Amino acid sequence: MLKANTTLTKLSLYNSNLGAAGAAALANVLVTNTTLTKLSLYDNDLNAVAINALANALTANTTLTKLSLYNNNLGALLAAVLVTTLKTNTALMELCLCYNNLDGVAAAALADALELNTTLTVLYLSHNNLGAAGVAALAEVLKTNTTLVVLHFPYNNLDAMAADAITKVFDINNWIFLI
């Protein structure tokens, strides 16, 4: 149904228990769908198979601008797989990875992807465990990334070192809004 769809622009599959098969089917649609711009997969407990399928689809997709993976317990390794697509994806403008058990490793992967990404403008990372090292990695890339304008990252086990790293970003990058 979605493969032939020419009108649906927003799809929310909140708490739908997609599973690997459902996510793979959705990813297959995302490769060719040209109308869906917003997708919410909030609280679906996505696994490695699902995230790999979505990551592959995002590499090819040119219309999805907003993706929410809120509360899927991705962890650092699955997040790293997903954010690798940010290096080549030219459509995604907003990404929500809140409540996903992300740590400094995931933040470093995000920072690496943001070095090359020129379309992501909003990134939600609240309620993870990025820690000082993760925030420092993000802060470093934000000194040169001129596309990201909103970074939302409260409740991430931050300390004075993280606050200092973020404060230094404002000396260089005054167009970003940190929440």
| Residue 151 within any structural domain of the chain | yes
Residue pLDDT, tens place only, 104-120: 999 999 999 999 999 99
Residue pLDDT, tens place only, 47-104: 888 999 999 999 999 999 999 999 998 998 888 888 889 999 999 999 999 999 999 9
Q: What is the CATH number of the domain that holds 23?
A: 3.80.10.10
- Name the residue range of residue 33's domain: 10-178
| Residue 16 within any structural domain of the chain | yes
94: nearest Cα among 117, 119, 74, 126: 119
Q: Which two tokens stand for residue 18?
A: 């997609």
| Residue 2 within any structural domain of the chain | no
Q: Which two tokens stand for residue 84?
A: 């690798």
| Residue 5 within any structural domain of the chain | no
Q: CA 110 to CA 104: how far, in whole Å?
A: 10
Q: What is the mean pLDDT of the chain?
A: 89
| Residue 166 within any structural domain of the chain | yes
Secondary structure element (H or E) that encloses residue 38, with its range: strand 38-40
| Residue 1 within any structural domain of the chain | no
Q: What is the pLDDT of residue 175?
A: 61
